[in-house]
Structure 1
């Protein structure tokens, strides 16, 4: 293994391997099929990159994440290692050129999405490559019990027929025992060497707090821990709004979501990476391939969809080994919000069949026809025409894409971007002079609070509906405002592309895949229940709960999570809290929040003590909710 260590030092500048990287690399070099479960931050990519560099030939890396593929290819190229990616959306000529380079250009790595294995001509070309290793990243996608099942992964096993002596390396950061068994079975791994790194993070404190005022609690946490932080939210609007709230609180903050242009994503990320911004507010589009060692705090303002995603996102804190915090803030209303966002938008078989049938009608595809036909597609127009809910329809189309019935390019974004380029007082002046335009403009300003600061993705149909106008009237007004130099308004054609991979057979088509749909829906419901159980369980160490979910047992409590801290605290006496409050109110009037901030006592204890003191007429409260001694 001295050569492997030399490669690690040469290209990655590390003096030693992390556990269990060395054992995984050794297994692969000895020609064994290998399964590695390594939680996020464990350095999975090194486990296939180093063996590939130590051998003649090329390594096939199968991954579903285009962004991560591009990131890894760029990092390898930066190290002067020849690597390329065969992603969806490439033209036939580009794909052929990439495969030619791999066959004749001494390339070391070819990244490709699993869907590319559904193209027979690509598989034929792969047969001619001098493959030394087949690495399957995000291997949980091969299992229908995994949180991101993709049937295209089932095609990977066919590579065994063409490369019988080439070892398979399956890698995942999150898999329950059931999923681990399914991965090994579905990939047909032969007597695999199995390596699992513990999910236990000794330096990461999992904190769960129920709070009505999440922004205030977030402010307290970030003031106490001024090092780099990530705040995760579930949608783009919250992303922008939360960043603005943080700036108004005095923090340096930026944001990151999937709707930003690539240059904007890079700019915002670098502000945080270079610590010009303490906090980056992000959707789950942020994080893949990000390795910033000194992240102190991860805060989730909304409930995550599942514990697999939560563990990966929380695990981006404390990679330098120092104590770090993964904080989840929740309140009772979050349950309804999560169910609406994650469960009620799941398509059932009837809805899926309706979407598929209408999709074929939309493109005038006759029964028994349509295979390999390709069309430009506007999701908004399609949903408006057939009165389909957008998110539920998108989920249905994504499911059809994952099943290989269609191929859906991921180009969905708003068709229009808009930014007001004059001060708010000038906008108010304009509305006073043009009262007929006021309803639409006010609706825009209320819907998009950040529209003065940046180009904002704009939904004309939503504004039309909210303002009780037609979409044509909204677009006409935007054009007028642009001509008067009041707004920067860009309308661009960014329709997605849909390719039909099979003939139209309506219900017969859907019947073939409906069992997967039912299983996936049941899984997502069970996963959300697990999230709620994690939040609401007040009798178990949070680290133990997470480990148990992933099939790992731990005898000792972690000692640093929110449960362990509350358990180890001596119970507060009512008298102690009351005496502290009376001492504070001798000199000044204070509200309940200020009292809590000064004393750092639990909110419930403060409220109970205040009520007792009011009942005893020791203190009084005025119309501004300020308490004082009688």
Structure 2
């Protein structure tokens, strides 16, 4: 009996300790949230995820775009000792998050394929000894020799995997390099993982859990329904006219998505000519130009941003009233993510897809463009090795600047075919292709103290410039700082070319290490160059992937062509949320409301009609009598269903279910 009593006392003591610790950690999480982000409370689901991660649980968080995913790993990582390793394929977003963290006083660094060996080594040293709290890495870095050497010395308290759908071959953006995360887990088995994604079908969810070696299935899923976001498909054969009409009808900040850089300029000009404030954005703009355009749009100095899908990542503008897609994206995952940038403040907003008869043909044609024939892919792989003068058996982890225009011209290749072939070779694990990586200039001082002072005295002409460098950028003696020659030129009243020469002079003198800006696509070989006869495109990389792509395109065509299913329900069902209600605000729901019936009445009658007509056709009058609903209501529903070609009249005069 005494043993039982002691056991109960012990359990009671444990429970009290647990509660005290629970409350203490909750207070700490809220303190960090307030201190660094200025928020008193977490958004729905954020705190549950933070607590799960803080308790050391492997966790998968499915949160729509704008749901505040980054806070779910940043807060618990800050609350513990050590650093958080963040894996993300989006280098632009990586750079933005690092800059944002540094701006609020948190030490963060990034390692990706655009950095030199020296930069990467210094970043690792700082992560090991310098108090770095967040180390962002691109997935291809995980298997490098240097990373694997340094990993045991990094005190990692959490692995955060952003864009986690990339680990699944069924995800719309599968990247083989993500599979390396499992090997990292084997080296640091006690470190929990937080996997984050805004878009994942049920099949992809299961794949993420399995491939990231979750110790137990632990999933937090935010309801993807957006009660304030009205999805609209607007059929039109004059998209330009319709765009102007829509933007004049609905006021407020807007994003217009197009497929090509050329179209961003053309449509922005069209809007300006129609007295609508607009600018354009694409990946080819300079860093300064991108920042300037984003800032003006964020501050509502520019109303409409016409952009490719390069725009929007990491930009949290809550008051976007309208997101228009001029061209249909090739997956509902991409559409849901981009459309979801509207109405993050909870106020009524619109996501509009302009749809023409030509869109279906374009999307089907895209399948052939996106998946060149295997022989064409192999020819491009062979040409690539010849272009870099790379012998068979060489090239492992070698990185090359890649001038695609020059390559296509030299081998008389189609640029789209090359682009898509490189993406397939990337999925097959042969190389990585980084599109137009814009790496700003970097500077780090190599001397300090007396040595630097002596140089300044001996070279009085360089002294003012050195002082401006040191005043403008921090941490120059311990790490590389991104610098912008144009900003320095403005501060010194000179031009960028003079700044460039001054930096070169200091670099040659051994005072600084200066790495000029690089703006070029990159090819990194993940395997040594193969003989062509040994190049393999496995079914999951080509045939199965092609079929999956066709299914995705088919889902987009269904979304654009359908006019009888609630848009929100159709999207949510695609992501496995099958028990959702009609949203009441999309174009389909508004069309139903014109009958004057409530959602419930309309749905009940429609379901009954479907059940009967799927069994056998029936004359309309007999159908109305059989159903037993109010006759006028039933006739209204039948007319709507016939107008939308869901039911039709046979030659016998009987009604049949067509869908």
Shared fold (TM-score, shorter chain, > 0.5): yes
Does 2:272 align with 1:247?
A: yes
Matched, 1:184 2:209: yes
Aligned to 2:405, what secondary structure does the other structure show?
helix
Which residue does 2:386 correspond to in 1? Answer: 361
Deviation at 1:366, TM superposition (A): 3.8
Q: Residue 217 of structure 1 corresponds to which residue in structure 2?
A: 242
1:528 to 535, 542, 553: 553
Instruction: Report 1:469-480 matches (<5 A).
Output: none
Deviations 1:243-262 (A, max 9, x none): 01111111111111111111
Please give the secondary structure, in 1, of the residue aligned with 2:219.
strand
TM-superposed CA distance for 1:570, in Å, is 4.1
Name the SS for the 2:312 alignment partner.
Answer: coil
| Alpha-carbon spacing, 1:344–1:409, altered in 2? closer, same or farther (3 Å) | closer
Q: Which whole-Å CA distance do the structure 2 matches of 1:528 and 1:194 have between them? A: 28
Equivalent pair of 2:572/2:580 in contact (CA under 8 Å): no
Q: Match for 2:62 among 33, 37, 45?
A: 37
Q: 1:283 to 1:496 in 2, by over 3 A?
A: closer
Report deviation, 1:391.
0.9
Q: How many residues align?
A: 493
* TM-fit CA distance, 1:184: 0.4
Correspondence list, 1:42-53, <5 A: 42-53=67-78
Describe the SS at the equivalent of 1:17. coil
In structure 2, relative to structure 1, the CA distance for the partners of 1:319 and 1:506 (3 Å cut) is same
Q: Which residue of 1 aligns with 2:322?
A: 297
Residue from 207, 210, 234 that aligns with 2:232: 207
Q: Find the residue that maps to 1:559 and give its secondary structure.
A: coil
2:34 matched residue in structure 1: 9
Matched, 1:140 2:171: no
Look up the match of 2:44. 19
Question: Whole-Å Cα distance in 2 between the matches of residues 283 and 77 of structure 1?
Answer: 28
Q: Which residue of 511, 526, 542 corresponds with 2:536? A: 511
The answer (yes or no) to whether the contact 2:539–2:545 under 8 Å persists in 1 is: no
Question: How far is the alpha carbon of 1:12 from its aligned partner?
Answer: 1.2
Q: How far apart in 2 are the matches of 1:375 and 1:87?
A: 14
Cα shift readout 1:62-94 (whole Å, capped 9, x = no counterpart): 000001111111111011000111111211111
**RMSD value, Cα:** 2.0
Structure 1 counterpart of 2:93:
68
Deviation string, structure 1 residues 313-350 (Cα, Å, up to 9, x no partner): 11111111111110111101122333344542422322
* TM-score normalised according to structure 1 size: 0.75
Distance, in Å, in 1 between the alignment partners of 2:158 and 2:426 is 28
Cα drift, residue 389 of structure 1: 1.2
User: Could you tell me which residue of structure 1 aligns to residue 339 of structure 2?
Assistant: 314
CA distance in 2, matches of 1:67, 1:503: 28
CA distance in 2 between counterparts of 1:298 and 1:275 reads 15
Distance 1:310 1:104, change over 3 A: same
Cα distance between partner residues in 2 of 1:552 and 1:496:
39
1:215 CA displacement:
1.9
Measured in 2, the distance between the counterparts of 1:312 and 1:38 equals 10
TM-score w.r.t. structure 2 length?
Answer: 0.72
Taking structure 1 as reference, are residues 313 and 251 closer, same or farther at Cα in structure 2, changes over 3 Å only? same
- The alpha carbon displacement at 1:277 in A equals 1.4
Alignment of 1:389-404 (within 5 A): 389-404=414-429
User: Which residue does 1:562 correspond to in 2?
Assistant: 587
Structure 1 position 162 matched with structure 2 position 187: yes
Question: Match for residue 77 of structure 1?
Answer: 102
Secondary structure class of the residue paired with 1:7: helix
Against the structure 1 CA distance between its residues 271 and 360, is the aligned structure 2 distance closer, same or farther, given a 3 Å change threshold? same
Question: 2:155 maps to what in 1?
Answer: 130
Structure 1 residues 84 and 511: CA distance shift in structure 2, 3 A: same
Aligned equivalent of 1:277, options 277, 297, 302: 302
Q: How many angstroms apart in 2 are the aligned matches of 1:19 and 1:193?
A: 17
Structure 1: distance between partners of 2:154 and 2:594 = 63
Question: What is the CA-CA distance between 1:516 and the residue it aligns to?
Answer: 1.2
1:342-353 aligned within 5 A: 343-353=368-378
Pair 412,80 (structure 1): closer, same or farther in 2 beyond 3 Å: closer
CA distance in 2, matches of 1:85, 1:522: 36
Structure 2 matches for 1:223-622, cutoff 5 A? Answer: 223-341=248-366, 343-411=368-436, 496-511=521-536, 513=538, 515-570=540-595
Asked whether the 8 Å contact 2:437–2:518 carries over to 1, the reply is no
**Pair 1:314–1:195, CA change in 2 (3 A):** same
CA distance in 1, matches of 2:140, 2:524: 13
Q: Aligned equivalents of 1:206 and 1:334: distance in 2?
A: 18
Which secondary structure state, in structure 1, belongs to the residue aligned with residue 381 of structure 2? helix
Q: Which residue of 1 aligns with 2:196?
A: 171
Q: Bigger CA drift: 519-528 or 538-547?
A: 519-528
Q: Which residue of 1 aligns with 2:143?
A: 118
- CA distance in 1 between counterparts of 2:398 and 2:250 reads 55
> In the TM superposition, what is the alpha-carbon distance from 1:205 to its structure 2 partner?
0.5
Quick one: distance in 1 between partners of 2:259 and 2:590? 28
Contact 1:143 1:179 in 2 (8 A): yes
Superposition map of 1:87-126 within 5 A = 87-126=112-151
Q: Give 1:223 shift.
A: 1.5
1:494 deviation in Å? 6.1
Encode CA deviations 1:464-500: one digit per residue, 9 max, x unaligned. Answer: xxxxxxxxxxxxxxxxxxxxxxxxxxxx996644343
Q: 1:515 to 1:295 in 2, by over 3 A?
A: closer
Query: In structure 2, what is the Cα distance between the partners aligned to 1:365 and 1:76?
Result: 40
Q: Distance in 2 between matches of 1:344 and 1:158?
A: 35
